[in-house]
A = this chain, B = another copy of it.
């Protein structure tokens, strides 16, 4: 992912002919309207509308005839018109900050999106994905407040970014990840990072390890602080020292650097809890470099259940995040808020330890 500066650009090599596609939207032409259905069914538009929105009061017989007409004409209600009168768009925005978009390739994030989309597919909400450029956030703001969507889901890379929190009063918003500072009253769904870290650390303890170091994440990111806290708690309960801490920034390089610092301290280390798999990857390379065996000399547990884990040698034991469920839950919570169903402000999903070979 390092080198590879592609020179690719607008090089277009044609082949087929390029028939000027007349103009404008093809589908919009001659779409059947509610009125046409009414005519065909021999009823009024109001009645058709009732059938479409399955209003309780309508004769079964007439209902069937209307449905037949609908089927025959292949009628499908015009969203814009409906939205205009309802004041509801049936659309939900998925806001992803540009900085996050760069690491869009993060499988965790990808799964979250997938979960959202899959859940929404079962409802009749549409997902409007938009990348918010940090440069001019007003554009996003305008879009969100412009009545284009009924609600929004904000996911930022390693969570904690609630810069759109203030919009929560104007528009239903659900965040992915705990906010850094306790927010007034924003909704969010998160994975239980503290519990996950505890599980990971206890696993190490159960293996008999007592010299357990950690490479923690940035302390200005909730997952960073929570995972460190979990590690501390587990160690505290076991009465084991929690002195061996080095910080990283969740990148492999920072993980490698932290591992070096840990090793260079000279003290004994028989286990490592890395706050994410990427940093564990960095640690792996340093460990190999110094001829230390995993898990023989040092057992290591990661966090995230990245793509790295399964293919690493040895395969990495790590804490799995239910990414897709996380996404689905965010969507579910948002839909509930939109529809006025009471929901808790914070929803937290459990992690699961995936035991492989490294610990």
Contacts and interface: CB of A to CB of B under 8 A. Distances in A.
Interface of A: 1-28, 31, 76-81, 83-84, 87-89, 91, 94, 96, 101-102, 104-107, 110-111, 113-114, 117-118, 121, 126-131, 133, 139, 142, 144-151, 169-172, 185, 192, 252, 281, 305, 307-311, 320-322, 325, 329, 337-340, 342-352, 354-356
Nearest to A281: B311
A197 to B, nearest CB: 16
Given A26-B170, A79-B147, A350-B8, A105 B107 contact: yes
30 contacts: A6-B352, A8-B325, A8-B349, A10-B329, A13-B344, A14-B344, A14-B346, A15-B346, A23-B340, A24-B87, A24-B88, A24-B339, A24-B340, A25-B88, A25-B89, A25-B147, A25-B338, A26-B169, A27-B149, A28-B87, A31-B147, A78-B147, A79-B80, A94-B129, A96-B117, A105-B307, A114-B131, A121-B133, A126-B128, A127-B128
A172 B126 CA distance: 19
Contacts of A2: 310
B340 A21 contact: yes
A131 B142 contact: no
B88 A84 contact: no
A343 B20 CA distance: 8
B104 A111 contact: yes
Contact of A114 (B27, B104, B130): B104
Copies of this protein in the assembly total 2
Nearest to A87: B28
Nearest to A12: B347
Contacts of A83: 80
A105 B101 contact: no
A352 B150 contact: no
A344 B307 contact: no
A175 B352 CA distance: 38
Contact of A105 (B16, B91, B111, B171): B111
